Structure 1
Amino acid sequence: MRTLVSPTQLRSPRGRAVYWTIFTVVMALFLLAFIFPLFWAVTGAMKDPAELARTPPTPLPTQWHPEAYGDAWSQMELAQYFLNTVVVAVGAWAFQLAVDVPAAYALSKLRPVLGNKILAMMLVTLLLPASALLVPTYVTITDLPIFGTNLINSPTAIWFPAAANAFNIYLLKRFFDQIPGELLEAAVLDGASQLRILWRIVLPISRPILAVVSILAIVAAWKDFIWPLLVFPDPGKQTLSVAIQRMQIDMPLNLLLAGLVLASVPMVLLFLFFQRHILAGLTDGSLKG
């Protein structure tokens, strides 16, 4: 297959030198763009406030203050906000899997009437800006239809709107479409119900895409700011993103940076640990025998 650089050119000494030079420069630029903000935040938190505000900034602290992380943890009471965020993220993850997996399975394998049109209408919601949905969603959770319940200051105000995610349903459906119909037909002949087929056959072989959907759900709930800001007016129930923003006025800049670093550590570790599953789930187009 012809590419921008032919195999013959790549095999020549000059071609290899040019290729590796360009590759190294591009990778260095990407690493600099992604790593430098993290490096600046981690080291900036260990500077004193005066040095952190100095112009031009110092590349490294002249005096290291690693105790800033402990001070931020205690003064900002991050333990409570970590717990609040974990509850919100885990609940949003569980609700999304409980709704999106059966919906995707039904659209993929049960073939309901007007299923393609239903999926198309779901995907159209992805074209709507999130800000356009804030007011109707807020009105809905302040007076939940049928139940007439106000969900303000309750984690369910996050869980319910996050449950039906069109993008996750689409990802799951595309993966379920690759599962051979003969495998499910054999289970039906053995007397298995659709629920049993989903639980015992489909889910075990769908672990890569389930890992992707799980990570997307947890990260989205962890980093969300606008919606938690609206539904958690009580400071004691706020998530990390909202609480840190609220405290930025009275908190020294180095402690604020330390709090931001601590808040981002779980998601960075989650991505590093599961990055192989993310790539495998997004690119897996077939089943391995």
Structure 2
Amino acid sequence: MTTTTRTLISPVQLNRPRGRRAYRIVLALVLLTATAVFLGPLYWMATGGLKSPQELVRTPPTLVPAHPSTHAFTEAWSRLGMARLLLNTVVYAGGALLLQLVFCVAAAYSLSKLRPVLGRAILAMMLASMMVPAAALVIPQYLTVLDLPLVHWNLQDTPWVIWLPTVANAFNVFLLKRFFDSVPDELLDAAALDGARPLRILWSVVLPISRPVLGVVSIFALVAVWKDFLWPLITVPGNETLNVGVNTAATSMPQNTLIAGLFLASLPTLVLFLVLQRTITAGLTAGSLKG
């Protein structure tokens, strides 16, 4: 018995020269439009830093710089102190990534394979926390880090004030659990028969085959810290991130220098995406099908 997949254009129409041409034209237009929508702002930032302040505000705007110059980029790097801001952001993002991997992997593995009592209720409460707007948590989190319960530490202006709130990420726990659910129990049982304990099974069996989803979780964790603005603004005023540093200096520099600084701030995440785009695709589809 053969099954056919229903699509917008039938195979019969695609086999006709006229239908094939129409399909290719429409596909090309859709791809070009999507590319322009996504790459347009990036192109505007890159070329805006190459323009002079006068050319940047010209009406109508110029698509290609008349006299391109990299002076705005070098000025943005020195005036903003991009090296210090970049180092601060890397430290915050790297620490958040490490803590998220440790705790989210442990939580997802426990819920998926160890199956604790009330595990489904715990997962449901985690997912329910995603319904709470992030802005509603700012004040409670801020009061908490000013006087950490039990130990009464003030974490303001320390990396821990960025790291700790990112540890419990319900979406990453859910994503990891879905992948761990697709790992055959027979594989874990075989390792257990060889004498491996749950922690050894996680380290030696589960994690090596979980690289795609771990890559996706890592990217989500890094980008979340990299793009955050409000929380670093109020908690680490003495050790600013890239976003906060660029915003602080926005009123005291020319527009082309500011745009150049914004492009430099976004460049690391763009490079990260281009290098790991296959990992993102593989990780998002991993665990969606069993068998």
TM class by smaller structure: over 0.9
Q: Which amino acid aligns with 1:274?
A: L
Aligned partners of 2:258, 2:188: CA distance in 1, in Å?
A: 54
Deviation per CA, 1:260-280: give whole Å up to 9, x if none.
Answer: 111111100100110100010
Aligned partners of 1:284, 1:151: CA distance in 2, in Å?
A: 38
Q: Which amino acid aligns with 1:92?
A: A
Q: Give 2:62's aligned residue.
A: 58
Q: Give 1:87's aligned residue.
A: 91
Aligned partners of 1:126, 1:284: CA distance in 2, in Å?
A: 22
TM-score for both structures, normalised by structure 2: 0.96
Deviation per CA, 1:125-178: give whole Å up to 9, x if none.
Answer: 111111011111111111111110011111111100000100000000000001
Q: Give 2:158's aligned residue.
A: 154
Q: Give 1:118's aligned residue.
A: 122
Do 2:180 and 2:287's aligned partners in 1 also have CA atoms closer than 8 Å?
A: no
Deviation per CA, 1:162-203: give whole Å up to 9, x if none.
Answer: 001000000000000011111111111111111111111110
Q: Give 2:255's aligned residue.
A: 253
- TM-superposed CA distance for 1:67, in Å, is 2.3
CA RMSD of aligned residues (A): 1.3
Q: Give 1:279's aligned residue.
A: 281
Q: Which amino acid aligns with 2:117?
A: V
Alignment of 1:1-289 (within 5 A): 1-234=5-238, 237-285=239-287
Aligned partners of 2:185, 2:145: CA distance in 1, in Å?
A: 40
- TM-superposed CA distance for 1:98, in Å, is 1.0
Do 1:244 and 1:259's aligned partners in 2 also have CA atoms closer than 8 Å?
A: yes
Aligned partners of 2:171, 2:247: CA distance in 1, in Å?
A: 29
Moved more, 108-117 or 184-193: 184-193
Do 1:184 and 1:197's aligned partners in 2 also have CA atoms closer than 8 Å?
A: yes
Aligned partners of 1:150, 1:188: CA distance in 2, in Å?
A: 44
Q: Which amino acid aligns with 2:103?
A: V
Aligned partners of 1:71, 1:230: CA distance in 2, in Å?
A: 27
Do 1:179 and 1:287's aligned partners in 2 also have CA atoms closer than 8 Å?
A: no
Q: Which amino acid aligns with 1:242?
A: V
Aligned partners of 1:258, 1:44: CA distance in 2, in Å?
A: 7
Deviation per CA, 1:236-276: give whole Å up to 9, x if none.
Answer: x0000001001000011111111111111110010011010
Identity %: 55
- TM-superposed CA distance for 1:66, in Å, is 1.4
Deviation per CA, 1:46-78: give whole Å up to 9, x if none.
Answer: 111111122221222221111221111111111
Aligned partners of 1:277, 1:185: CA distance in 2, in Å?
A: 28
Aligned partners of 2:129, 2:35: CA distance in 1, in Å?
A: 34
- TM-superposed CA distance for 1:288, in Å, is 10
Moved more, 117-126 or 185-194: 185-194
Aligned partners of 1:191, 1:61: CA distance in 2, in Å?
A: 67
Do 1:45 and 1:68's aligned partners in 2 also have CA atoms closer than 8 Å?
A: yes
| Structure 1 residue ranges without an equivalent (≥5) | none
Q: Which amino acid aligns with 1:270?
A: L
TM-score for both structures, normalised by structure 1: 0.97
Do 2:182 and 2:287's aligned partners in 1 also have CA atoms closer than 8 Å?
A: yes
Runs (4+) off by over 2 Å? 285-289
- TM-superposed CA distance for 1:233, in Å, is 2.1
Aligned partners of 1:118, 1:18: CA distance in 2, in Å?
A: 52
- TM-superposed CA distance for 1:285, in Å, is 2.6
Secondary structure at 1:206 match in 2: helix
1:11–1:33 CA distance, 2 compared to 1 (3 A): same
- Aligned residue pairs: how many? 287
1:5–1:286 CA distance, 2 compared to 1 (3 A): closer
1:133–1:286 CA distance, 2 compared to 1 (3 A): closer
1:180–1:286 CA distance, 2 compared to 1 (3 A): farther
Q: Which amino acid aligns with 1:110?
A: L
